[in-house]
Amino acid sequence: GNSVTQMEGPVTLSEEAFLTINCTYTATGYPSLFWYVQYPGEGLQLLLKATKADDKGSNKGFEATYRKETTSFHLEKGSVQVSDSAVYFCALRAGGTSYGKLTFGQGTILTVHP
Amino acid sequence: SQTIHQWPATLVQPVGSPLSLECTVEGTSNPNLYWYRQAAGRGLQLLFYSVGIGQISSEVPQNLSASRPQDRQFILSSKKLLLSDSGFYLCAWSVDTGNEQFFGPGTRLTVL
């Protein structure tokens, strides 16, 4: 079946540090890949997405590249801010008759200190 | 624009009591609807999805059920809550199966 594995957290960084959150996946066919962010006390918001191999999704300074050869979709940001503190979820949506269902990783808690 | 509502925002219920969580979507027609649960320290698990009124698919066997009495209304229910039902419940919608999902603010359920 489909699965998503994220690096374990929590991750604690100082402001302006470089961020990488690893994400690898297992899926049949050609899934679409997503990063969602959950700020404290809120629901999930889509951060970025990529729908085919070698696509790069980007938003708010975050980037992730769909790497089919390594089945990865690592999230990066060059300089984090305190306001980036949140839980980050990697997810995939398989094609075919999956009815758009998302399979999520376990989430990575990011805390950024001033 | 489209919006998604969930209520209540928080709920504390005793073991064995019934449950009803509601999710409604505005500004779109015939959305796909989803219920997810986020247990403490774990990722999100898809519980149910619906592609139309009265059409419910369950992803995992459990103590919960879902219903879709109207096009833009999705209800999560239980007749008797268990301690293990505690968690953060998120409703989501999408235009169709090929598009991104939009999530509601969630309901935090604590079963004591």
Task: Encode pLDDT of A20-79 as tens digits.
Answer: 999 999 998 889 999 999 998 788 899 999 999 999 999 999 999 999 999 999 999 999
What is the C-alpha separation between B45 and B35, in angstroms, rounded? 9
Task: Read off φ and ψ for residue B71, nearest 5 degrees.
Answer: -55, -40
Confidence bin at B41 (pLDDT 50/70/90): low
d(CA B22, CA B76): 7
Query: Is the CB of residue A109 less than 8 Å away from at least one CB of chain B?
Result: no
| CA A45/CA B36 separation, integer angstroms | 14
B98 pLDDT tier (thresholds 50, 70, 90): low
**Range with the poorest average pLDDT among A58-72, A99-113, B14-28:** A99-113
**pLDDT of amino acid B97:** 64
- Cβ of B73 under 8 Å from any chain A Cβ? no
AA identity, residue B44: L
Give me the residue label for tokens 């079963």. B111
Mean pLDDT of chain B: 91
Q: Please tell me the predicted confidence (pLDDT) of residue A1.
A: 80
pLDDT in tens, A84-98: 999 999 999 886 655
Tokens of A30: 């050609």
* From A100, A104, A107, residue closest to B94, measured CB to CB: A100
d(CA B112, CA B89): 17
**Inter-CA distances, A57 with A38, A65, A69, Å:** 18, 6, 17
Furthest CA-CA distance within chain B: 39
What pLDDT is recorded for position B60?
79
Q: Which of B42, B101, B105 sits opposite A106 (nearest CB)?
A: B42
Residue A99 to residue B49, Cβ atoms within 8 A: yes
SS3 A73: coil
The pLDDT-based confidence of B13 (bands split at 50, 70, 90) is very high
Chain A closest-CA separation from residue B87 CA (Å): 13
Partner-chain contact A104 B44, CB within 8 Å = yes
Q: What per-residue confidence (pLDDT) applies to A59?
A: 97
Q: How far apart are CA A59 and CA A57, in angstroms?
A: 7
CB contact under 8 A, A100 and B98: yes
Q: What is the pLDDT of residue A98?
A: 57
Predicted confidence at residue B85, as pLDDT, reads 93
Read off the pLDDT of each residue in B48-58 and give the average, rounded to a whole number.
92
- Choose the most confident range, by mean pLDDT, from A37-41, B52-56, B93-97: B52-56
Helix (H) or strand (E) holding B58: strand B55-58
Cβ–Cβ gap A100/B101 under 8 Å: yes
Of A46, A89, A98, the CB nearest to B97: A98
